[in-house]
Chain A
Amino acid sequence: MSLDLPLIWTCIIAVAVLLYVMLDGFDLGIGILFPFAGSPAERDVMMNTVAPVWDGNETWLVLGGGGLFAAFPLAFAALMPALYIPITAMLLSLILRGVAFEFRLHGRRQARAFWTGAFAVGSLGATLAQGLVLGGFIQGVSLRNGRFAGAAFDWLTPYAVLVAAGLVAGYALLGASWLIWRTKDALHDRARRWAWSALASVALLLLAVSIATLFVHPRIAMRWGEHEGRVDLLQLARLSPIPILGAAGLGISGLGLLRRAHGWPFAGAVLVFISGYLGLAAGFFPDIVPYSMTFRQAANADNALALMLIAVVVLLPAIIGYSLWVYWIFRGKVTPDAGYH
């Protein structure tokens, strides 16, 4: 039996990126919500809810990027130069956000306020940059002989800006609902209010992005059943579980908020992200560089993919196991008076 290695690796990279988006999504969401906290002590608690896990969460980004390099080097080589500016902006923002976890503890007075600001600005900047990367990616990348042949600002379009705004709202929803789950008292109540605003923004922007995406490329509209002005209902029905999942996620989050549930708003937000992710992927699959290169064309040599697959089969279950263990260790509500350590 021979394995379809490029397809398996497409799934692995896709899962790594999805896990990154959801896991670092709530970390970054907390940074986005940082300016709205009621007091420095609330900010301490907000940061403490993710301090032990953010580094592991960000590692999924390294697996996504490093994995793309190792498994689909031609896609990596085509996409990174095309998205040079937003990728660099993302890296710089993640640096500010990452060091702020430690530096904010050591700074005094102005420096502490500076790192509080850096955490918020870094989180928001990284989110916007990721949204622009995503928007630029879905719009498609022009290649010549497998190399990026466009201009430096090709990614900067109203569509990409809309996607970036949607991602900010989405991460804010993940962050707020994470805080509902992991905090108590005044911060918990505040997080509920944030979650309502974020949920409303997500619902609106998700709808706007979904409609706008249909007009980005003819293939996307065709995938969703539109062909020369006519709608193929059967085709649409086949993909309908994706928007239904998104609507269900929004509903679960909203109902969870109404009934003052602690975990359900976060679970709903996760479903919304899965739905959005699948919905976008349905438009460009099997391309890995939209409308220019399929995942098969971009795939690394079979012997490299096979070797790495062995490592993944052995190591990924272990990684997921000990990551879950770390989350389990740090489970429960985080409060200011109990201290974290």
Chain B
Amino acid sequence: MHFDALLLSRLQFAFTIAFHIIFPSFTIGLASFLAVLEGLWLATKNDTFKLLYLFWVKIFAISFGMGVVTGVVISYEIGTNWSAFAAAAAPVIGPLLAFEVLTAFFLEASFLGVMLFGWRKVGPKLHFASTSLVAFGTVVSAFWIISANSWMQDPSGFTTLHDGTLRATDWARVIFSPTFPIRLIHMILAAFLTTSLVVGAASAWRLLKEPSEEQSELALRMAIGMFAIVAPLQLLAGDASGKWVLQAQPAKLAAIEAFWDTKPSQAFHIAAWPDRASASNRWELSIPKLGSLITAGDVNARVQGLKAFAPADRPPVAVVFWAFRVMVGLGVAMIALGFWGAFLVWRGVLVHSPLFLRACVAMGPAGFLAVVAGWIVAEVGRQPFVIYGVLRTDQALSPVSGGEVSVSLLSFMMIYAVIFSFGVLYILRLIAKGPVAGGLEPAPAMARPPGYALAALADEPERDG
């Protein structure tokens, strides 16, 4: 494999965006969870909700900060590494990304300050409004970014001029490209699932340590309520999204299912070893006819295989095939966890099932893995195009050298490894302390200065700061 600027740029973009997507897919759901907690506290005056809010808002602050700084990178990488894409795509999707900044980023960034630091500066209602605006901003941000990405998957509402440049002809069809609505639903549900699994895992971990911690039991019930309902809905949304892939990107669908020949009654491959060189599966474990039923809704349906496309137009198969199975496998596990949890809640024996609590802890990262796997299916499956059918990835590259990109890629990997390790450590440490430790006072989140009355209670001496 030759490590040229193209391959390195693809690796860098894949790495930086896969790393970035972890944070929004958690904070989109968490911001809404916080808004619900604060709303319930205002409505009921039950301090358990406030305690949970003050606990989760600290975890939100860490995650959101990491999402912001890794997100800025993406907007500049479009120019540093993919300048030909930037020049080609801007007439159509440039406004979508500008709208994201104008409608979402400023809203989130400004009201985040009030949300984190404004408890004693504004009244409870204004504070709740700030939390809600941040939550709204995260969803609006997802709206625009999925809109731009959906257009790249199935471009519509544009025309190609004589000189080869693109022009939007119908903004509604650019923003609402055919696959956009279902893909947005799929992403938002994924974010809510991811968050509820993390909240569930953290609360279950707390209950394994402190079975009588009522705040954690309440949070676990809320989490179960969320993923027990959303996980099955996500299966439907994912299936509907897949039906669009069959129409809009048949090569991607063929890669997802490792179909090589175009034929009726395709078999469903539970597992396979797809090999692009021989244009076949070296090995497969299959159920006859089920493939056509799942992808086209009819056991006799004729479904295109990869051989219907020129070898240069076929996406990588094994990566897409297996990423899809990881995503769906995790989704099925989430549905099972949801039914199990709902059953335990119904029987009123939730905290008495250490096995379920351990399963919740184990499933904590499942949402992140499923999101990244799903992203791999969507993006790698679209190859060799960056704008499907319009611009090939190898024509999207900037005039940069392999040397520059290898240095930048290594730098990103090192810095991201450091911030990821510390971010996870600090979040786990907060969870280990639990919601009660933080108390009802809105956070001496700032370090206590010497002379502060409670400085003697600081749990660790400070060497420097």
Contacts and interface: CB of A to CB of B under 8 A. Distances in A.
Interface in A135-165: 146-149, 152
A30 B462 CA distance: 22
Interface string B255-294: 0000000000000000000000000000000000000000
Nearest to A101: B65
A109 interface: yes
A116 B75 CA distance: 27
The size class of the interface chain B forms with chain A is 35 or more
A337 B461 CA distance: 19
A65 B75 contact: yes
Given A99-B419, A105-B446, A62 B86 contact: no
B382 to A, nearest CB: 21
Nearest to A51: B117
Given A44-B446, A113-B463, A303-B168, A311 B102 contact: yes
A235 interface: no
B72 A73 contact: no
A221 interface: no
Contacts of A84: 80, 398, 400, 404, 408
B429 interface: yes
A341 B442 contact: yes
Nearest to B443: A341
A59 B106 contact: yes
Contacts of A66: 75, 97-98, 100-101
B429 A326 contact: no
A197 interface: no
A55 B446 contact: no
A56 B411 contact: no
B354 to A, nearest CB: 29
A294 interface: no
Contacts of A27: none
B90 interface: yes
Interface in B101-133: 101-103, 105-107, 109-114, 116-122
Nearest to B122: A329
B76 interface: yes
Contacts of B446: 44, 48, 105, 339-341
Interface in A236-289: none
Which of A67, A71, A116, A307 has most chain B Cβ within 10 Å? A307
Interface stretch (A85-93, A176-184, A207-215, A223-231): A85-93
B39 to A, nearest CB: 21
B333 interface: no
Interface string A69-93: 1110110111111011101100110
Nearest to B398: A81
Interface in A23-60: 39-41, 43-45, 48, 51-53, 55-56, 58-59
B83 A80 contact: yes
A316 B90 CA distance: 21
Which of B117, B120, B168, B444 has most chain A Cβ within 10 Å? B117
A110 to B, nearest CB: 7
Contact of B78 (A52, A69, A107): A69
B83 A59 contact: no
Given A59-B106, A326-B113, A341-B119, A73 B411 contact: no
B449 interface: yes
A202 B404 CA distance: 33
A73 B404 contact: no
Contacts of A319: 102, 106-107, 110
Given A40-B447, A77-B86, A112-B465, A92 B415 contact: yes
A61 B415 contact: no
A65 B422 contact: no
Contacts, number: 271
B442 A301 contact: no
B69 A94 contact: yes
Contacts of A323: 106, 110
Given A52-B116, A55-B112, A341-B119, A73 B86 contact: yes
Nearest to A55: B109
A108 B462 CA distance: 7
A40 B452 contact: no
Contacts of A311: 95, 98-99, 102-103
A329 B118 contact: yes
Given A59-B106, A84-B404, A113-B465, A301 B122 contact: no
Contacts of A51: 113, 116-117
Interface in B426-465: 426, 429-430, 442-447, 449-452, 460-465
Contact of A300 (B91, B452, B464): B91
B87 A74 contact: yes
A195 B62 CA distance: 32
Nearest to A301: B91
A99 B65 contact: yes
B86 A315 contact: no
Which of B65, B122, B442 has most chain A Cβ within 10 Å? B65
Interface in B46-101: 61-62, 65-66, 68-70, 72-73, 75-76, 78-80, 83-84, 86-87, 89-92, 94-95, 97-101
B129 to A, nearest CB: 11
A341 to B, nearest CB: 5
Contacts of B66: 99
A70 B429 CA distance: 42
A77 B147 CA distance: 22
Contact of B109 (A58, A69, A81): A58
A313 to B, nearest CB: 11
A222 interface: no
Given A51-B117, A103-B423, A110 B65 contact: no
B113 A52 contact: yes
A312 interface: yes
B423 A99 contact: yes
Contact of B445 (A59, A95, A152, A341): A341
A111 to B, nearest CB: 7
A78 B83 contact: yes
Given A69-B86, A326-B110, A148 B79 contact: no
B365 interface: no
Interface in A284-341: 300-301, 303-304, 307-308, 311-312, 315-316, 319, 322-323, 326, 329-330, 336-337, 339-341
18 contacts: A51-B116, A62-B105, A69-B79, A76-B86, A81-B398, A85-B407, A92-B415, A99-B66, A99-B69, A102-B62, A105-B446, A106-B430, A109-B463, A113-B465, A152-B403, A301-B167, A304-B92, A322-B110
Which 7 pairs between the two chains have the least Cβ-Cβ distance?
Answer: A80-B79, A73-B90, A40-B465, A52-B113, A70-B94, A41-B449, A77-B83
